[in-house]
Structure 1
Amino acid sequence: MKYEYCKTDFIYEISRSDSSVQSGSVFDSTLQNTWKDALERGVFRYVLNIQHSKILEGKFSFVAQLNTDRALKRRAPEEITSLTQPFDHDRFNFTKIDETEILFELRRKCDTSTNRHCVIINESPLEFGHCLLLPTRLNCLPQIATQYSLQLAIEVMLLSSNPAFRVGFNSLCGYASVNHLHYHGYYLNYSMLLEHISVQHLSGPCFILVNYPAKGFVFQLPSDKRPETLARDVFKLTNFLVCNNVAHNIYITRGTDFSSSHTNSKICNTVRVYVWARKSSSGAKQNDAFNPAICELFGHLSVKTEAAYWSLTEEQVVEMLNDVCEGPFGQVTDSVKELFED
């Protein structure tokens, strides 16, 4: 199955008032229907079963979900030793998946190249619709964000009209479990703080997130509404981090414009892209509750055990996020400011 799109399909402003996860654009319907069909066919490692969900008490409104199946039944992550570890054809990669795992091929109508992008299931889902976007799957690129793939991920976000849809990327040494270029997509039906939190200008198009335990960098869809402009700006930062051997995570979400004073607005009028410089996952403090990967930095905590879920507090989460991000953020901020002053 193929899903083809062009720029006229992009949706730049959506309402938060639609509380139904299973709704949205033609893209949303395509993703949700193929994902549910795969679920019925038994393609996943387990049937998604989030045993409990809650918002942790405190000012950051962290969302905690108990998903013991993901902790126990997912494929063992690949051993990652370097941020620039080469692609290895002999290890598991997405050319080795079964055809039943492919939901659909994704293609820009105006793209004259032979690039083939796939959307496949994440066989160990953490939420409804959890899928993987595989840019140029057969090119066998390592898990390093390219400007082209960032633009594709942003365009996928613009194809969805559901405010619950999110896209994320874990770098190598940032909890990526497969060294083959991929982005995560899924639906999280909560209004999240980072959709509207205030940010501070750093330089050029780059802003910083400081009133939050996981300090990081953030960009938004520019006034020209061109996803290629946003992708170029984000790539400028991620490429700098790769060149300086700094692990990182990227999260793409709908939200309010940085200049908006209406934090509780029901309208999402931009796309926000968060980039966190972070400690290598091999050097991060281990936690029985959750792994501090991309979703957790955003405030969505997939908790491993029932004991950890019931005892988890905002203070514990704040400590973990600070430990992961504060040092690397402080070390690179001045250089990032200079990077965008040109």
Structure 2
Amino acid sequence: MKYEYCKTDFIYETSRGDSSVQSGSVFDSTLQNTWKAALERGVFRYALNIQHSKILEGKFSFVAQLNTDRALKRRAPEEITSLTQPFDHDRFNFTKIDETEILFELRRKCDTSTNRHCVIINESPLEFGHCLLLPSRLNCLPQIATQHSLQLAIEIMLLSSNPAFRVGFNSLCGYASVNHLHYHGYYLNYSMLLEHISVQHLSGPCFILVNYPAKGFVFQLPSDKCPETLARDVFKLTNFLVCNNVAHNIYITRGTDFSSSHTNSKICNTVRVYVWARKSSSGAKQNDAFNPAICELIGHLSVKTEAAYWSLTEEQVVEMLSDVCEGPFGQVTDSVKELFED
């Protein structure tokens, strides 16, 4: 199955309103219907079963969900030792998946290249619609964000009219589990703080997230609403981090414009892209509650055990996120500022 699109399909403003997580655009319907069909066929390692969900008490509104199946039944992550580890054809990669795992191919109508972009299931889902975007799947690219793949990830965000849809990326040594270029996408039907939190200008198109435990860098869709411009700016930063051997995570979400005075507005009038420089996960101690990858950095905590779920507090999460990001953020901020002053 192919899903073809062009710029006229992009949706630049959405509203939370009273919409259900299972609603939205033609893209949303395509993703949700093919995902549910795969679930009914038993393609996943387990049927999604979030036993409990809650918002942790405190000012950050972290969402905790108990998902023991993901902790127990997911494929063992690949051992990652370097941010620039080469692609290995002998290890598991997305050319080895069963065809039943492919939901659809994604193609721009004006694209004359032979690149084949795929959207496939995440066989160990953590939320409804959990899928993987595989840019140029058969090119066997390592898990390093490219400008082209960032643009593709931003474009699928613009194809969805459902503000519950999220896109994320874990670098190597940033809890990526497979060294084959991929982005996560899924629906999380909670209003998250990072959709409207205030940010501070750093330089050029780059802003910083400071009033949050995980300090990081932020970009938004520019005034010309061009995904290519946004992708170019984000890539400038991620390429700098790769060149300096700094692990990182990327989050793409609907949200309010940085200049908006209505921080709690239900209107989402831009796309925000967050980039966190973070401590390497290579050799990191495993946490009983959760591992701080992209979902946890945004405040969505997929908790491994029932004991950890019931005892988890905002203070514990704040401590973990601060530990992961504060040092690397401080080390690179001056250089990032200079990077965007050019």
Maintained 8 Å contact 1:153/1:183: yes
Residue aligning to 1:133: 133
Residue aligning to 1:146: 146
Tell me how far apart the structure 2 counterparts of residues 18 and 132 of structure 1 sit (CA, whole Å). Answer: 27
Residues 1:332 and 2:332 aligned together: yes
SS of the counterpart of 2:338?
helix
Tell me how far apart the structure 2 counterparts of residues 19 and 68 of structure 1 sit (CA, whole Å). Answer: 28
Tell me how far apart the structure 2 counterparts of residues 54 and 265 of structure 1 sit (CA, whole Å). Answer: 22
Structure 1 unaligned regions, length at least 5: none
Tell me how far apart the structure 2 counterparts of residues 197 and 248 of structure 1 sit (CA, whole Å). Answer: 20
Maintained 8 Å contact 1:84/1:144: yes
Cα gap change, 1:295/1:191 in structure 2, threshold over 3 Å: closer, same or farther?
same
Deviation at 1:19, TM superposition (A): 3.4
SS of the counterpart of 2:341?
coil
Residue aligning to 2:111: 111
Maintained 8 Å contact 1:173/1:280: yes
Maintained 8 Å contact 1:284/1:324: no
Residue aligning to 1:218: 218
Per-residue CA deviations over 1:237-275 (Å, capped at 9, x if unaligned) read 000000000000000000000000101111000000000
Tell me how far apart the structure 2 counterparts of residues 141 and 22 of structure 1 sit (CA, whole Å). Answer: 32
Per-residue CA deviations over 1:153-180 (Å, capped at 9, x if unaligned) read 0000000000100000000000000000
Deviation at 1:38, TM superposition (A): 0.1
Per-residue CA deviations over 1:278-336 (Å, capped at 9, x if unaligned) read 00012545321001000100000000000000000000000000000000000000000
Tell me how far apart the structure 2 counterparts of residues 283 and 207 of structure 1 sit (CA, whole Å). Answer: 31
SS of the counterpart of 1:118?
strand
Tell me how far apart the structure 2 counterparts of residues 174 and 312 of structure 1 sit (CA, whole Å). Answer: 23
Tell me how far apart the structure 2 counterparts of residues 10 and 237 of structure 1 sit (CA, whole Å). Answer: 25
Maintained 8 Å contact 1:284/1:323: no
Maintained 8 Å contact 1:64/1:300: yes
TM-score (norm 2): 0.99
Deviation at 1:18, TM superposition (A): 3.4
Tell me how far apart the structure 2 counterparts of residues 109 and 291 of structure 1 sit (CA, whole Å). Answer: 39
Structure 1 runs, 4 residues or longer, greater than 4 Å off: none
Tell me how far apart the structure 2 counterparts of residues 338 and 51 of structure 1 sit (CA, whole Å). Answer: 47
More displaced stretch, 275-284 vs 37-46: 275-284
Tell me how far apart the structure 2 counterparts of residues 57 and 19 of structure 1 sit (CA, whole Å). Answer: 25
Structure 2 unaligned regions, length at least 5: none
SS of the counterpart of 2:179?
coil
SS of the counterpart of 2:224?
coil
Tell me how far apart the structure 2 counterparts of residues 249 and 18 of structure 1 sit (CA, whole Å). Answer: 31
SS of the counterpart of 1:340?
helix
Maintained 8 Å contact 1:208/1:217: yes
Tell me how far apart the structure 1 counterparts of residues 23 and 214 of structure 2 sit (CA, whole Å). Answer: 31
SS of the counterpart of 2:291?
coil
Cα gap change, 1:196/1:209 in structure 2, threshold over 3 Å: closer, same or farther?
same
Tell me how far apart the structure 2 counterparts of residues 16 and 36 of structure 1 sit (CA, whole Å). Answer: 23
More displaced stretch, 284-293 vs 160-169: 284-293
Tell me how far apart the structure 2 counterparts of residues 301 and 17 of structure 1 sit (CA, whole Å). Answer: 24
Tell me how far apart the structure 1 counterparts of residues 218 and 65 of structure 2 sit (CA, whole Å). Answer: 25
Per-residue CA deviations over 1:94-124 (Å, capped at 9, x if unaligned) read 0000000000000000001001000000000
Deviation at 1:16, TM superposition (A): 1.1
- Equivalenced residues, count: 342
More displaced stretch, 195-204 vs 285-294: 285-294
SS of the counterpart of 1:107?
strand
Maintained 8 Å contact 1:25/1:159: yes
SS of the counterpart of 1:323?
helix
SS of the counterpart of 1:60?
coil
Cα gap change, 1:212/1:283 in structure 2, threshold over 3 Å: closer, same or farther?
farther
Per-residue CA deviations over 1:170-227 (Å, capped at 9, x if unaligned) read 0000000000000000000000000000000000000000000000000000000000
Maintained 8 Å contact 1:285/1:323: no
Deviation at 1:30, TM superposition (A): 0.1
